[in-house]
Amino acid sequence: MRIFTCEPEWEAMLTCIFEAFESGLGHKNIKLLLEPVGQVSFLDEYVHVDADPSKADRLSEAIVRRISYEVYTEMAYTAMAFEEDVLDNIYHVLILGFHYGPEVLRMVKFADIMRNREIRARVVREAERFREILRFHRVGNVYIAHFEPRSRVVGYLGPIFSDRMPSEFFVIVDDIHREAVIHGKNEHFYIQKLTDVEFENLLHTEEENDKYTDLWKVFFDSVAIKERANEKCQRNHFPLWARKHAVEFMR
Amino acid sequence: MYDLSNNDPLKEKLTILSDAAKYDVACTSSGVSRGGREGFLGNSVAAGVCHAFTSDGRCISLLKILMTNHCIFDCKYCKNRASNDVPRATFTPEEICTLTIEFYKRNYIEGLFLSSGVIKSPDYTMERICETLRLLRTKYRFNGYIHVKAIPGASDELIYSAGLLADRISLNMELPTQESLRKLAPNKNMKNIIGPMNRISGTIAGHRVAVGKSARMERCGINKHLVNSIFGPGVDRIEGPEGDSSLFPAANPFLYPAEKNDALLRRPFAPAGQSTQMIIGATDETDLDLIRTTQALYQSFDLKRVFFSAYIPVNEDAALPDKTAPVPLLREHRLYQADWLIRYYGFVADEILTGDNPFLDYRVDPKCFWAINHLDRFPVEINTAPVDVLLRVPGIGPTSVKRIVSARRYGSINFEMLKRMHVVLKRARFFITCNGRMFERVPMDHRYILNQLADADRRDVYQITDRNNDFRQLNLFDDLKMERA
Ligand code: SF4
């Protein structure tokens, strides 16, 4: 079996899928994996694919023209997921898509489509969680938030927070994948990969606490009713992993 | 308590005024969807967003504060009553605005929930509240969620202004009868609560119709299929009985407030609707009284929500339960379940409880209790039963009903499939058949099924009561006549 591998990044993924289609080896003899590849088997042949903007563009165009724009954006969402089979799944959904057309995502009788729905649902669930628990710190006139998602959901959060604060300068930093949403006052946001230096510079913004961080802690404590104390319930709703960047739990 | 040693006045005010506001249970930011606008701060998400959870396990969605905890009234159950000696504070409008804006930008909250004690007079207080909201909406250009409390006794014009500035408006009924109000809230009367509630509801309906919506608020879609539901198809607002104008005065239109002409504020009136709260356990109303009142409030005033708040004894008073009285958390929980049955399952109050048995059962939830007492209607066949009958099966909720109905178009359903549709077989198994077969052979015996279901519920019951001290647990299990936990 030939295994195509690439960096976990949208343009590279599109290029990788493009190469898989072009190889003409037959879908059954191909697998696509994201790097770093976990277990390497000696029976398989591994081919690393580098991102190639023109090939990626050609594939995107083909998807939009021959399937639909909706399928294209849904695949882009799928690609954010932290799941081992995500690249392979997108490849198989596209094979079905080129055959059945725009209705493909509703054809749940195919296992690949079911799996794709599951992956997307997980991404959305994770991203929606961060809509709630993201915390911004004010640094100068910029509001900066750090978070640590499993999937690459910073792109999902961009539109959410741009709608919420259209006229603020804010930055949302994904500490795991080292990318950030940057939104200027009354501007459209963009996503940027962070260099080591940029990442270092942004690293300590959570230590920038001002009066309002303190006031929030005051509020958080005093609004609880001690006669109803229920830490188990609190932990169910706000698990320990979620507390790392939540200022109310930083003492 | 937080360390106030550095004497920051704002910190001190926030401590006092959030502590004083915490007994109001409503904290949702839901009910209206509104996109952001350039030059403004904030939007609103229909489903609501919870940003944090307090150590009592409740969600924080809004900055819930009182404008002031000074109060000229003397409601017996309230910590802020005039006769109590407690630290008092008052926020300035600017302080409230800055807190809201700064918390909002840091993603701590979805908006503001502003309530207040009564200073000088209801009108004076309401005026100050409106001033604050006006400032927040105009100078601070805040476009997020606002829930405002209307002060009983304030003038119509001011209440209209508040509704135009906020997303949700609420008037707390607190106690369901004039009798209880007289006993515990001598400065309030039913007329001062019901009157504005009625006018608010009429104004909301008017604003909705003006923009082409239905007069009544949107409800869970499943109600469309439930002919019995109080939100079902073809149900209109129920007006009060003729001649009883004291309780249901004609819904006079409000006077035109200044906000109406302000272009910056082209806002609908309370688009997320109206809500109220009742205290549970301070007086001796039965659960039947409470859910009948709840239902009447939905029917007459189209309230979006009715909240229940278990009474927490903060004051010593001969008219109140003892200070050591347990907080009736389980009762509150059961009442919420009954409220769900009305809002999502097509039940009416008098089906849930009867005059001879006016309290909700502690052991099992009200839906199970109803089913056990109507065993002659069960088991129902999953593959053929209509929507309203399916919804009455314990363990099956609106979402599972939708799944069942859509799946059975393509073939027959078995127990395995029900499990995957998240039907709770632990409860449902006594009441259903799939293709004529029951899940297992069980005697259709009232006592047997009650015991089985109570067993299934015991963990929930335990967890809810578990919150308090040992004294409370023992007490509950005594009530239930259970030998062991
Ligand atoms: S009006 Fe009654 S309930 Fe409200 S703050 Fe004053 S005393 Fe408390």
The pLDDT tens digits for B51-62 are 988 888 888 999
Q: What pLDDT is stored for residue B243 in this prediction?
A: 39
Nearest-Cα distance to chain A for B325, in Å, is 11
Separation CA A225–CA B21 (nearest Å): 10
* B192 three-state secondary structure: helix
Nearest-Cα distance to chain A for B435, in Å, is 24
Q: What tens digit of pLDDT does each residue of B36-48 get?
A: 999 999 999 988 8
CB-CB neighbors (< 8 A) of B53 in chain A: 233-234, 237-238
Q: What pLDDT is stored for residue B471 in this prediction?
A: 35
Separation CA B461–CA B476 (nearest Å): 10
Given A97, A125, A153, which residue is the final one in a domain?
Answer: A125
Q: What tens digit of pLDDT does each residue of B227-272 get?
A: 777 887 766 555 544 434 444 444 555 555 666 666 556 788 899 9
**Quick one: A138 and A116 in the same domain?**
no
State mean pLDDT over B310-337: 87
**Quick one: A10 and A78 in the same domain?**
yes
Q: What pLDDT is stored for residue A15 in this prediction?
A: 96
**Quick one: A163 and A245 in the same domain?**
yes
Is the confidence at residue A184, as pLDDT, over 50? yes
Tokens matching residue B270: 């309370």
B79 in A contact zone (CB under 8 Å): no
**Quick one: A245 and A155 in the same domain?**
yes
Give the CA distances from residue A217 to residues A103, A213, A247, in Å, rounded to whole numbers and listed in that order: 49, 7, 8
First to last CA, chain A: 53
In this prediction, residue A108 has a pLDDT band, given cuts at 50, 70 and 90, of: confident
The Cα angle at residue B60 between residues B6 and B78, in degrees rounded to 5:
75
* A143 three-state secondary structure: strand
Are B22 and A246 in contact (CB < 8 Å)? no
Give the CA distances from residue A63 to residues A85, B85, B473, in Å, rounded to whole numbers and listed in that order: 20, 71, 62
Q: What pLDDT is stored for residue B447 in this prediction?
A: 84
CB-CB neighbors (< 8 A) of A109 in chain B: none
Q: What tens digit of pLDDT does each residue of B271-285 get?
A: 999 999 999 988 888
Q: What pLDDT is stored for residue A232 in this prediction?
A: 81
Contacts of A195 (CB under 8 A, 6+ apart): none
Type of residue numbered A159: P
* Ligand 1 proximal residues by C-beta, below 6 Å: B 71, 73-75, 78, 80-81, 117-118
Are B40 and A212 in contact (CB < 8 Å)? no
Is the confidence at residue A208, as pLDDT, over 60? yes
Separation CA B433–CA B379 (nearest Å): 6
Q: What tens digit of pLDDT does each residue of B77-135 get?
A: 999 999 999 999 999 999 999 999 999 999 999 999 999 999 999 999 999 999 999 99
Does the N-terminal peptide bond of residue A102 adopt cis geometry, omega within 30 degrees of 0?
A: no
Are B467 and A225 in contact (CB < 8 Å)? no
**Quick one: A116 and A139 in the same domain?**
no
B57 DSSP β-pair partners? none
State mean pLDDT over B423-451: 87
Q: What pLDDT is stored for residue B3 in this prediction?
A: 41
Q: Which residue of B has its CA nearest to A170?
A: B105
Please give the distance, rounded to the nearest whole angstrom, from the Cα atom of residue A97 to the centre of ligand 1.
63
Q: Which residue of A has its CA nearest to B108?
A: A135
Helices vs strands, H then E, count in chain B: 16, 11
Please give the distance, rounded to the nearest whole angstrom, from the Cα atom of residue A203 to the centre of ligand 1.
47
Given A125, A159, A194, which residue is the final one in a domain?
Answer: A125
Q: Which residue of B has its CA nearest to A247?
A: B108
Which domain range does residue A187 map to?
Answer: 134-249
Options 3.20.20.70, 3.40.50.150, 3.30.365.10, 3.40.190.10; which CATH number does B9-353+469-482 get? 3.20.20.70
Answer for the pair B263, B235: CB distance below 8 angstroms, yes or no. Answer: no
Out of B23, B65, B68, B78, mutate this one to test ligand 1's pocket (max ligand atoms within 8 Å of CB): namely B78
Q: What pLDDT is stored for residue B413 in this prediction?
A: 87
Q: What tens digit of pLDDT does each residue of B371-412 get?
A: 999 999 989 999 999 999 999 999 999 888 988 888 888 778
Q: Which residue has the tokens 């309290």?
A: B359
CB-CB neighbors (< 8 A) of A138 in chain B: 105-106
What residues of chain A, 211 to 240, have a C-beta less than 8 Å from chain B? 211-234, 236-238
Is the confidence at residue A190, as pLDDT, over 90? yes
A39 in B contact zone (CB under 8 Å): no
Q: Where are the beta strands (DSSP E) in B376-428?
A: 380-381
Are B58 and A246 in contact (CB < 8 Å)? no
A41 in B contact zone (CB under 8 Å): no
CB-CB neighbors (< 8 A) of A185 in chain B: none
Is the confidence at residue B1, as pLDDT, over 90? no
**Quick one: A62 and A150 in the same domain?**
no
Is the dihedral angle over the CA atoms A108, A124, B167, B197 positive or is it negative? positive
Transcribe B442-469 into DSSP letters: ----HHHHHHHHHHHHHHHHHHHHTTS-
Q: What pLDDT is stored for residue A205 in this prediction?
A: 82
Give the CA distances from residue B205 to residues B13, B151, B267, B342, in Å, rounded to whole numbers and listed in that order: 38, 21, 14, 21
**Quick one: A26 and A139 in the same domain?**
no
Is the confidence at residue A203, as pLDDT, over 50? yes
Q: Which residue of B has its CA nearest to A216?
A: B103
H/E element, B53: strand B52-53
**Quick one: A101 and A171 in the same domain?**
no
First to last CA, chain B: 34
Answer for the pair B292, B10: CB distance below 8 angstroms, yes or no. Answer: no
Given A125, A159, A182, which residue is the final one in a domain?
Answer: A125
The number of distinct structural domains making up chain A is 2
Answer for the pair B63, A219: CB distance below 8 angstroms, yes or no. Answer: yes
Please give the distance, rounded to the nearest whole angstrom, from the Cα atom of residue B338 to the centre of ligand 1.
28
- State how far Cα B334 lies from the chain centre: 13
Helices vs strands, H then E, count in chain A: 9, 8
Separation CA B282–CA B321 (nearest Å): 6
Q: What tens digit of pLDDT does each residue of A27-60 get?
A: 888 999 998 888 888 889 999 999 999 999 999 9
Q: What pLDDT is stored for residue A136 in this prediction?
A: 94
Out of B68, B69, B81, mutate this one to test ligand 1's pocket (max ligand atoms within 8 Å of CB): namely B81
Contacts of B317 (CB under 8 A, 6+ apart): B76
**Quick one: A140 and A243 in the same domain?**
yes
Is the confidence at residue B75, as pLDDT, over 80? yes
Give the CA distances from residue A157 to residues A149, B51, B217, B271, B297, in Å, rounded to whole numbers and listed in that order: 11, 15, 30, 26, 39
Report the complex ipTM: 0.86
